[in-house]
Amino acid sequence: MSEAADPSHSPALLAEVAALPAMPGVYRYFDAAGQVLYVGKARDLKKRVSSYFQKNHGGTRIGHMVTKIVRMETTVVRSEAEALLLENNLIKTLNPRFNILFRDDKSYPYLKMTGSFPAPNHVPNQVPNSPPAQVETAGAATNSIAVAVPIHFPRMAYYRGAVDRKHQYFGPYPSAWAVKETIQLLQKAFRLRTCEDTVFSNRTRPCLLYQIKRCSGPCVNYISPEAYAHDVANAAAFLLGDTQAVLDGLQARMLRHADRLEFEQAAELRNQMGALAKVLHQQSMETGSDKDVDILAVKLQGGRACVNLAMVRGGRHLGDRAYYPVHVDDATATDVLEAFIAQHYIDLVVPPQLITSEAVDVELIEALSSQQGVKVSAVHNPREQRRIWLEMAQKNAGIQLARLLAEEGSQQARTRALVEALDLAPESLETFCIECFDISHTAGEATQASCVVFLDHKMQNAQYRRYNIEGITPGDDYAAMRQVLLRRYGKAETMPHLVLVDGGKGQVSMAREVFAELGLDLGLIVGVEKGEGRKVGLEELVFADGRAKVSLAPDSAALMLVAQIRDEAHRFAITGMRAKRAKVRTGSSKLEDIPGIGPKRRAKLLQRFGGIRGVANAGADDIATVDGISKELAEEIYRALH
pLDDT digits (tens, 9 = 90+) for 510-561: 999 999 999 999 999 999 987 665 566 678 899 998 888 888 887 788 888 9
Q: What is the mean pLDDT of residues 43-53?
A: 91
Higher-scoring residue by pLDDT: 402, 55: 402
Least confident of 52-56, 67-71, 200-204, 592-596: 592-596
Q: Is the pLDDT of residue 140 over 50?
A: no
Output the CATH code of domain 11-94.
3.40.1440.10
Q: Which residues contact 301 (CB under 8 A, 6 or more apart)?
A: 398, 401, 402, 405
| Nearest-10 Cα torsion for 211, 215, 221, 223 | 110
Cβ(229)–Cβ(123) under 8 Å? yes
pLDDT range class, residue 231, cuts 50, 70, 90: confident
Closest-CA residue to 80 (of 43, 128, 35): 43
- Look at residue 143 in the predicted model and tell me its pLDDT: 42
**What number does CATH give the domain 587-641?**
1.10.150.20
- 212 has a pLDDT exceeding 80: yes
Counting residues of the chain whose pLDDT is more than 70, the rounded percentage is 84
Q: Pinpoint the residues of the chain covered by CATH 1.10.150.20.
A: 587-641
Residues 434 and 422: their CA atoms lie apart, in Å, by 13
- Topology given in CATH for the domain delimited by 293-403: Nucleotidyltransferase; domain 5 (3.30.420)
**Which of the four pLDDT bands, split at 50, 70 and 90, describes residue 590?**
low
51, 439, 521, 592 from 481: Cα distances, Å = 58, 7, 17, 36
> What's the pLDDT score for residue 319?
81
Q: What is the pLDDT of residue 578?
A: 60
Name the range with the highest mean pLDDT among 202-206, 485-489, 543-547, 608-612.
485-489
Q: How confident is the model at residue 10 (pLDDT cuts 50, 70, 90)?
A: confident
3-state DSSP assignment of residue 566: helix
Quick check: 303 pLDDT over 50? yes
More confident position, 215 or 550: 215
Residue 136's pLDDT is what? 35
CA dist., res. 214 & res. 201, Å (int):
18
Question: How many CB atoms sit inside 10 A of residue 78's CB?
Answer: 10
Provide the edge-to-edge strand list for the sheet that holds 36-42.
36-42, 25-30, 71-76
Q: Across 149-163, 414-428, 581-595, which has the greatest mean pLDDT?
A: 414-428
Q: 104 or 35: which carries more pLDDT confidence?
A: 35
Mean pLDDT of 101-130: 58
Assess contact for 390 and 295: CB atoms under 8 A.
yes
Taking the C-alpha atoms of residue 445 and residue 440, their distance in angstroms, rounded to an integer, is: 9
Give CA torsion, residues 365, 370, 374, 379, to 10 deg: 10
CB 503 within 8 A of CB 527: yes
| Secondary structure (DSSP) of 447-482 | EEEEEEEEETTEE-GGG-EEEE--SS-TT-HHHHHH
- Rounded-to-integer distance, Cα 400 and Cα 406, Å: 10
Strand partners, 439: 449
User: Is the confidence at residue 6, as pLDDT, over 60?
Assistant: no
Partner residues linked to 355 by β-bridges: 295, 379
Q: Give the Cα separation of 404 and 567 in Å (integer).
A: 22
pLDDT attached to residue 2: 40
Q: Which pLDDT band, with edges at 50, 70 and 90, does 252 fall under?
A: confident
Give CA–CA dist 340/334, Å, rounded.
10
**SS3 of residue 499 by DSSP:** strand
Could you tell me which residue, 613 or 184, shows the higher pLDDT? Answer: 184
The pLDDT tens digits of the residues spanning 309-340 come to 998 887 777 888 899 998 887 789 999 999 99
The Cα 445–Cα 449 span in angstroms is: 13
Least confident of 251-255, 562-566, 577-581, 594-598: 577-581
Q: How much is the average pLDDT of 271-297?
A: 64
Higher local confidence (pLDDT), 563 or 241: 563
Bridge partner residues of 41 (DSSP) = 26
Question: Which residues of the chain are in CATH 3.40.1440.10 domains?
Answer: 11-94
Cα(580)–Cα(572) distance, rounded to whole angstroms?
Answer: 13
- How many angstroms separate the CA atoms of 534 and 220, rounded? 53
Query: What stretch of H or E contains 543?
Result: strand 540-543
What is the DSSP code string of 327-389? --TT--HHHHHHHHHHHHTSSSPPPSEEEESS---HHHHHHHHHHHTS--EEESS--HHHHHH
Q: How many CB atoms lie within 10 A of CB 437?
A: 25
The pLDDT assigned to 497 comes to: 94
What average pLDDT does the structure give for the chain? 81
Contact 146, 165 (CB under 8 A): yes
pLDDT in tens, 355-400: 999 999 888 898 888 887 889 999 998 988 889 889 999 999 998 8
pLDDT band at 287 (very low <50, low <70, confident <90, very high): very low
**Rounded CA Rg of the chain:** 31
- Give, for 48, the enclosing helix (H) or strand (E): helix 45-54
What stretch(es) of the chain map to CATH 3.30.420.340? 293-403, 433-584
CB atoms within 10 A of CB 156: 23
Domain at 433-584, CATH from 3.10.580.10, 3.20.20.70, 1.10.3720.10, 3.30.420.340: 3.30.420.340
> CA of 487: how far to CAs of 47, 387, 423, 491, 641, in Å?
55, 58, 28, 8, 32
Q: Which residues contact 297 (CB under 8 A, 6 or more apart)?
A: 307, 308, 310, 356, 357, 390, 393, 394, 396, 397
On the question of pLDDT at 433 being above 90, the answer is yes
Average pLDDT of the segment spanning 576-602: 63
Q: For residue 578, what is the enclosing H or E element?
A: helix 557-586
The Cα 193–Cα 235 span in angstroms is: 12
Q: Specify the pLDDT at position 403.
A: 84
Q: How much is the pLDDT for 586?
A: 44
